[in-house]
Structure 1
Amino acid sequence: MRVKCVMCDQIGKLPDEAPLAKKLRNRPIHTYMCSICTDRIGEKTLARVATGNFIFRRSSHTIEKEF
């Protein structure tokens, strides 16, 4: 299955049997992000958390309180 990264528009290939490929086929709202962009966003998020100015906003559901 051919996929396109939503951040950098890089075209990649996923095996047709992969769970991510099935998710993308069956639920069009889900998007694909390449591993380079995923790593970059993860690093930047961790850097923002380390500054102390980043607050995780969670809902008020009871299941979130246990988290």
Structure 2
Amino acid sequence: MIVSCVLCDKKVKLDANSFEGKRLINHPLATYMCEECKERIAQKTEKRRREGKLRPSLYHKENDGWS
């Protein structure tokens, strides 16, 4: 199955029997994002978190003993 990245429109061939392939087939509203875009977003998010420009509620907090 050929899917398109929602950010860069790069075409990627996925195995229909893989986890992502089955998820996309069974859930039509699910979207696909290529590995390059995932990595780029992760790097930018980490940079914003280190600079203090990301709201604290958006990233994982340390365990405070209540959960």
Q: TM-score, normalised by structure 2?
A: 0.81
Once superposed, what is the RMSD of the aligned Cα atoms? 1.4
Moved over 6 A (4+): none
Q: 1: distance between equivalents of 2:39 and 2:48?
A: 14
Q: CA 1:56/1:13 → structure 2, altered by over 3 Å: closer, same or farther?
A: farther
Structure 1 residue 57 displacement after superposition: 3.1
Unaligned runs of 5+ in 2: 59-65
Structure 1 residue 16 displacement after superposition: 1.4
Structure 1 residue 53 displacement after superposition: 2.4
Which residue of 1 is the match for residue 63 of structure 2? none
Structure 1 residue 56 displacement after superposition: 3.8
Q: TM-score, normalised by structure 1?
A: 0.81
Q: CA 1:56/1:22 → structure 2, altered by over 3 Å: closer, same or farther?
A: farther
% identical aligned pairs: 38
How many equivalent pairs are there? Answer: 60
Unaligned runs of 5+ in 1: 59-64
